[in-house]
A and B are shown apart, each in its own frame.
Chain A
Amino acid sequence: MIDSSMLPDFIVEAAEHLEVMESSLLRLEQGYEVTDKELMDEIFRSIHSIKGAAQFVGIERVSELSHKLENLLDLIRRGEITLSPAITDLLIAGKDRLTLLVDELERTKAEETEVSDLVEQVRRVIEGEDVEDDAPEETVSGSGAAQEEVLQGLGEKEEQSGLLTEENMSDEFDEELYNIFLQQLKENIPFLYAQTVELSISVDKQDVLYRCSDSIKSLKSSANYMGYEKLTQHYSNWQHAIDNAVEQLSSGKMPNLNFMQDYIDEIIRSFPQAMEGYSYDDADELGDGHQDEQHETSSIDSALNSIFADEDPAGVSDSPVAHQEEDSEDTPEPEEVAGEGIDLDDALDTIFSDEHGGVSDHGENADFQSLGDEASRAEHSLGPVIKEEAGNAAETVPLEYELSDDEYDEELISIFLKKLKGDIEYIQTQIAEYLAGADIRKILENCHDAIGRLSSSANYMEYMSLTAFCEVWQNVVDGYLTDVSAGLVPDIAPGLQEFVDKIISVYPQIVESEQQNGDDEIFSDAEGADAGFDDSPKESNASAGKEDKDKEQAEEFEGVTAGEKTEHVAQTENVSADKALFDRLSTALETPEYANNVSEGSIDRVIEEIIESPGYEEESEPSSNEENGTIAGSHLLDQVVTSSTSDKKEVAVDNAHTDDIPDTAEEKIQDTSDYDEPVPGGGEKEEIKNDLSDHSPQSKLGLAKSEILEQEKQEKAAEGEQEQQSAKKASTFRSSIRVDAEKVDFLMNQVGELVVSRAYFAQLVNEIRGLEMQLLESSGTSKSQLKPLHEFAFRLSEAGVHLGRVSNELQEGVMKVRMLPIDQLFKRYPRLVRDLARNTNKDVKLVTRGEETELDKMVIESLSDPLIHIIRNSVDHGLENAEDRLRAGKPAQGTLILEAFHESDHIVVEISDDGRGLDTQRIKAKALERGLVSEDELERMPEQELTRLIMLPGFSTAEKATQTSGRGVGMDVVKKNIEKLNGTVELFSEAGKGTRLRIKIPLTMAIIQALMVRVGKEKFTIPLTSVEETLRVFRHEISEIEGVDVIHLRDNTMPIFQLAKIYNIDRQASQEGKMFVVVVSTGTQELGLVVDELLGQEEVVIKPLADYLRLESGFNGATILGDGGISLILDIPELVKIAKENQILRQGQRTLGFKRKKRNAAETAEQVH
Chain B
Amino acid sequence: MADTMADTFTADKMTEQDEGDQQLMQLVGFTIGDEHFGVNILMVQEIIRSAPITSVPNSPEFIEGVINLRGNIIPVIELRKRLNLFREEAASEDPWILILDINSRVTGFIVDSVTRVLKIMEDTIEPPPDVVVAGLANQYIRGVCDIGESLLILLDFNRILLADELNQLRAIDGD
Contacts and interface: CB of A to CB of B under 8 A. Distances in A.
A1112 interface: yes
Nearest to B107: A1106
B57 A1162 contact: no
Given A1115-B56, A1124-B52, A1126-B66, A1166 B61 contact: yes
Nearest to A1112: B173
Contacts of B107: 1106
Interface string A1033-1065: 000000000000000000000000000001111
B98 interface: no
A749 B58 CA distance: 28
Interface in B32-76: 52, 54-61, 63, 66-68, 71-75
A1114 interface: yes
A487 interface: no
A1067 to B, nearest CB: 12
Given A1106-B75, A1109-B75, A1126-B73, A1063 B57 contact: yes
A1103 B60 contact: no
A1113 B63 CA distance: 13
Interface centre among A1113, A1138, A1165 (most CB of B within 10 A): A1113
Contacts of A1108: 59-60, 63, 75, 165-166, 169
Contacts of B129: none
A1125 B169 CA distance: 26
A531 interface: no
A325 interface: no
Nearest to A749: B71
B135 interface: no
B175 interface: yes
Interface string A1092-1115: 000000000001111011011111
Contacts of B68: 1120, 1124-1126
Given A1103-B72, A1118-B66, A1063 B174 contact: no
B167 A1128 contact: no
Given A1065-B57, A1104-B73, A1109 B66 contact: yes
B159 interface: no
Given A1113-B59, A1126-B66, A1165-B174, A1103 B169 contact: no
Contact of B171 (A756, A1125, A1169): A1169
B150 interface: no
Nearest to A1065: B57
B105 interface: yes
B139 interface: no
A753 interface: yes
Interface string B2-44: 0000000000000000000000000000000000000000000
A1105 B75 contact: yes
Interface string A1151-1169: 0000000000110011011
Contact of B58 (A1138, A1165, A1166): A1138
Q: Is the interface of B mostly helix, strand, loop or mixed?
A: mixed
A1128 B63 CA distance: 15
Given A1109-B63, A1169-B167, A753 B55 contact: no
Contacts of A1113: 56-59
Interface in A913-951: none
A1109 B72 CA distance: 15
Given A1106-B107, A1108-B169, A1112-B173, A1169 B58 contact: no
Interface centre among A1108, A1118, A1165 (most CB of B within 10 A): A1108
B146 interface: no
B66 A1111 contact: no
A1114 B167 contact: no
Interface in A1105-1148: 1105-1106, 1108-1109, 1111-1115, 1118, 1120, 1124-1128, 1138
Contact of A1125 (B52, B56, B60, B61): B52
A282 interface: no
B59 A1169 contact: no
A1120 B172 CA distance: 27
Contacts of A749: 71
A1018 interface: yes
A756 B168 CA distance: 35
A1120 B68 CA distance: 7
B134 to A, nearest CB: 18
Interface string A101-141: 00000000000000000000000000000000000000000
Contact of A1169 (B71, B73, B164): B164
A1147 to B, nearest CB: 16
B21 to A, nearest CB: 35
Interface residues of A, number: 33
B169 A1120 contact: no
A1105 B66 contact: yes
A753 B172 CA distance: 35
B73 A1103 contact: yes
B175 A1162 contact: yes
Interface string B64-98: 00111001111100000000000000000000000
Contacts of B175: 1161-1162, 1165-1166
Interface centre among A1065, A1114, A1128, A1161 (most CB of B within 10 A): A1128
A1168 B167 CA distance: 11
A1063 B54 CA distance: 14
Contacts of B174: 1165
B57 A1064 contact: yes
Contacts of B66: 1105, 1109, 1118, 1126, 1128
Interface centre among A1064, A1124, A1168 (most CB of B within 10 A): A1124
A753 B68 CA distance: 12
A1111 B169 contact: yes
A385 to B, nearest CB: 77
Nearest to B54: A1126
Interface centre among B57, B60, B63 (most CB of A within 10 A): B57
Interface centre among A1103, A1106, A1114 (most CB of B within 10 A): A1106
A1114 B57 CA distance: 9
B107 to A, nearest CB: 7
Contacts of B57: 1018, 1062-1065, 1113-1114, 1128
Contacts of B59: 1108-1109, 1113
A1118 B72 CA distance: 10
Contacts of A1118: 54, 66, 73
Interface string B146-175: 000000000000000000111111011111
A1064 B58 CA distance: 8
A1126 B56 CA distance: 10
A1106 B61 CA distance: 15
A1133 to B, nearest CB: 15
Interface centre among A1109, A1115, A1127 (most CB of B within 10 A): A1109
Contacts of B72: 1103
Nearest to B75: A1106
Contacts of B52: 1124-1125
Nearest to B65: A1126
A1148 to B, nearest CB: 13
A1018 B66 CA distance: 13
Contacts of B164: 1169
24 contacts: A1018-B57, A1063-B57, A1064-B57, A1106-B105, A1106-B107, A1108-B59, A1108-B60, A1108-B63, A1108-B166, A1109-B66, A1111-B169, A1112-B173, A1113-B57, A1115-B56, A1118-B66, A1120-B71, A1124-B52, A1125-B54, A1161-B175, A1165-B174, A1165-B175, A1166-B61, A1169-B167, A1169-B171
Given A1105-B73, A1127-B54, 13 more contacts: A1063-B57, A1103-B73, A1105-B56, A1106-B75, A1106-B107, A1111-B169, A1114-B57, A1114-B58, A1118-B73, A1120-B73, A1126-B54, A1126-B73, A1166-B171
Interface of B: 52, 54-61, 63, 66-68, 71-75, 105, 107, 164-169, 171-175
Return the 5 tightest CB-CB contacts between A and B, nearest first: A1063-B57, A1162-B175, A1126-B54, A1106-B75, A1113-B58
